[in-house]
Chains A and B, each alone.
Chain A
Amino acid sequence: MIKIETNAGIDGHGPALGSGSLARVAKFLWRLFWLIIAFGAAFFLSGIALNRGEHINSIWLVLAAACTYALGYRFYAKFIAARVMALNDERATPAERLRDGHDFEPTNKWILFGHHFAAIAGPGPLVGPVLAAQFGYLPGTLWIVIGAVLGGAVQDFVILFASMRRDGKSLGEMAREEIGKVGGFAALFTVLLIMVILLAVVGLVVVNALKGSPWGTFTIAATMPVALLMGLYLHYWRPGKVLECSGLGFVLVMASIFAGRSVAASAWLSPWFTWSAMALAVAIIAYGFLASALPVWLLLAPRGYLSTFIKLGVVLMLGVGVLVVHPDLQLPALTRFVDGTGPLFAGKVFPFCFITIACGAISGFHALISSGTTPKMIAKESNALPIGYGSMLLESFVAIMAMIAACVMQPGVYFAVNSPAGVVGATPAAAVAKIASWGFPVTVTEMSTLAHSVGEQTLFYRTGGAPSLALGMAHIFAQTGGGQALIAFWYHFAIMFEALFILTIIDAGTRVGRFMLQDLLRHFSEPLGRVNWMPGVILTSAAIVAAWGYFLIQGVRDPLGGINSLWPMFGIANQLLAAIALCVGTTILLKMHGAKYMWITCTPLAWLVIVTFTAGWQKIFSPVPAIGFLAQADQLQASLAAPTVATRTLIFNARLDAALCAFLLLMVATILLDSFRVWYGVLSGTQEARVVEAPFVLSQLRAEKL
């Protein structure tokens, strides 16, 4: 085993500057540096935690996060790497042993870091913090920072390590091998269910961002022919020139944002692109079906490239923008809605803050990426530390940026944009009166001026988080460059970025869901399992689209805006997947070291189990109709003597949501019990603690080759 490169810290090694007094001074300075970082983390975290009644500058959040990440990486992650995993650069990785020029390929550490980050960074860390800001900036910020350091990054790192030592096996395969067949099957089935809920909820975010917005709808509609053009360009005219093609696509998308202003201003064109929520939902469902059934090269791949490049660029811009502008946060540290009466979604700060922010703190979906492409491309075992742990810290930092972008708005504006009509009233006058009664003054004129400044008719009832995030981002970008004259452009740029990004998740997710379904169906009918048999492709694509489309329509029809029921379900599902990943991680650590290091994965696992089961229980059985699905159904049933078809559908939907939530909890309880059985067996000595790693092969790879 070789030692992980350390300069100082837990094991007391200083920088390699030689012996004698110089080395002692260097060692002292190095320790002093980390002492200052530790002091900084404590100072900035307590500063944001204890501040009351004054506006705090966003730099406090940035510095608190940066210092905590640095400490977590330097001490905790390196401790896990050196003592628990015993990462060994002399051990050949799957990328070296199984090198095939395709999946398995040793890749430069920082290139793989970027690749992995691009894969794990979805819309979750952007939307979740914006929604959780209804509790104030403090609960979400603390959860993002502490959750990532002790939970999310640990999960990603441990699963990446485990997969890397097992020839790049997937989470499902590892669950089957390490825990048992029941755990493996439950993991696969849970992933499919999560996909369905995820696609519905992100679809709803896009619907709410684009409804009644001709500028936004035109821009997003224009990305379809742009993607098709890119697909043809890449396939026939300039094969292999992905960067060139993406550059062309980017220019065309920018042009469509500029053209969108004229479309919105045109009396003739504007009605063509002013769509209702239902029309947008149907269009997104049709798009999901087409994207799943059409050849990948024509639509999915070019959109995927464009979306990834824009995503990385925007994240970078947002980071730079926050540092340059460092705006004051307008939302308070804590709002009155910690008591569970929030307008965006109902439920107390515990447990709902911790499921609303999943990606950004801990996300089960990351375990799929950490056991997917990345472990097959790691050149040296020690690279797993920056890639697995470090990239999650960067994602967490993105979530902090989103939290800042949400909190720079006036609280009244934030709640006016994000609250559904069912909570604040169906007219702007009623909405501002209700929001003002909560202690967050805002006027109809103020909202109208803001809407016109960003080229929209209205900004009321834009639930889902995307429009308020776009407002916050536009505010930051406009101050960085262009001033207020460009705020409408920046708003629609941000909307385009969010929608493009989310539609990429929808198209790729539908296709992945189709493959999963075909994989299940091939046990019953061989042709249905064939990925190139067109009737099977159409049937399974339609089934997956129908599944998430049903929940999307349900969200559109929901009088409370849909986000209230769908986002918590998505959060619960995603955190339950994280619980499965942590069960796998704990089992592996237990087999490697006995009970000694179990706490590393058991601590976040215990927290997630408490949070998700409490949230799940409340979503099913809470007597408050805004929280509990069954209470909501009962209230609807009792409110009408003769329920209409629409009401009966709402009642059915509430009961369906309760059943789905219960099913997810049951699945994870099954995996937990199966894991406990294995852990008890190993600890009591009745079961062999066999570690099923690939055998040691001496690495021949030299760093300079990469």
Chain B
Amino acid sequence: MSLVRSFWRFVLALLREIGDENAYQRHLAAHGRVHSGAEWRRFSEEWMRAKYARAKCC
């Protein structure tokens, strides 16, 4: 059972990493800020600009 739980935790963590939710949490922690709509928009603007300036693989 614990194996299933840890696998599920891993899957969620992976999805959060791919979905940039972990990056947002790190951003909040690094700047000592709390979550808000404006904060997410500030983060996503900066993050997406960098993310979509890199080539995507074929």
Q: Which residues of A contact B (CB under 8 A)?
A: 100-103, 105, 107-108, 110-112, 114-115, 118-124, 191, 195, 198, 202, 234-236, 239-240, 242-243, 246, 296-297, 300-301, 305, 308-309, 312, 358-359, 363, 365-366, 368-369, 372-373, 504-505, 508-509, 511-512, 515, 531, 570, 574
Contacts and interface: CB of A to CB of B under 8 A. Distances in A.
Interface string B1-29: 00000000010011111111101101101
23 contacts: A101-B29, A102-B26, A114-B17, A118-B18, A119-B56, A122-B56, A124-B57, A191-B55, A239-B36, A239-B41, A242-B16, A242-B21, A243-B16, A297-B44, A301-B52, A309-B18, A309-B19, A358-B58, A363-B57, A363-B58, A373-B54, A509-B55, A574-B58
Contact of A115 (B18, B35, B46, B50): B18
B56 A504 contact: yes
B44 A505 contact: no
B38 to A, nearest CB: 8
Given A240-B21, A240-B40, A296-B48, A111 B10 contact: yes
B18 A512 contact: no
A570 B21 CA distance: 35
Interface of A is mostly: helix
B19 A508 contact: no
Nearest to B15: A243
Nearest to A305: B19
B23 to A, nearest CB: 7
Contacts of A365: 55, 57-58
Contacts of A118: 18
Contacts of B50: 102-103
B55 A115 contact: no
Given A101-B27, A365-B58, 11 more contacts: A115-B17, A120-B57, A243-B19, A296-B45, A297-B45, A300-B48, A301-B44, A312-B18, A368-B54, A509-B55, A512-B54
A297 B58 contact: no
Of B14, B27, B36, B49, most buried by chain A (CB within 10 Å of CB) is B14
Contact of A372 (B39, B54, B58): B54
Interface of B is mostly: helix
Given A110-B10, A297-B44, A365-B57, A511 B18 contact: no
Contacts of A195: 55
Contacts of A122: 56-58
Given A115-B18, A243-B15, A305-B19, A102 B57 contact: no
Interface residues of B, number: 38
Contacts of A574: 58
Nearest to A358: B58
B55 A368 contact: yes
Contact of A108 (B13, B19, B40): B13
A534 B40 CA distance: 24
B55 A246 contact: no
Nearest to B45: A297
A198 B58 contact: yes
Of A101, A191, A309, A509, most buried by chain B (CB within 10 Å of CB) is A101
A243 B19 CA distance: 7
Nearest to B30: A101
Contact of B14 (A110, A191, A236): A110
Contacts of B35: 239-240
A369 B37 contact: no
A267 B48 CA distance: 42
Nearest to A377: B17
A86 to B, nearest CB: 28
A123 B48 CA distance: 22
B48 A297 contact: yes
Contacts of A246: 19
A107 B16 CA distance: 12
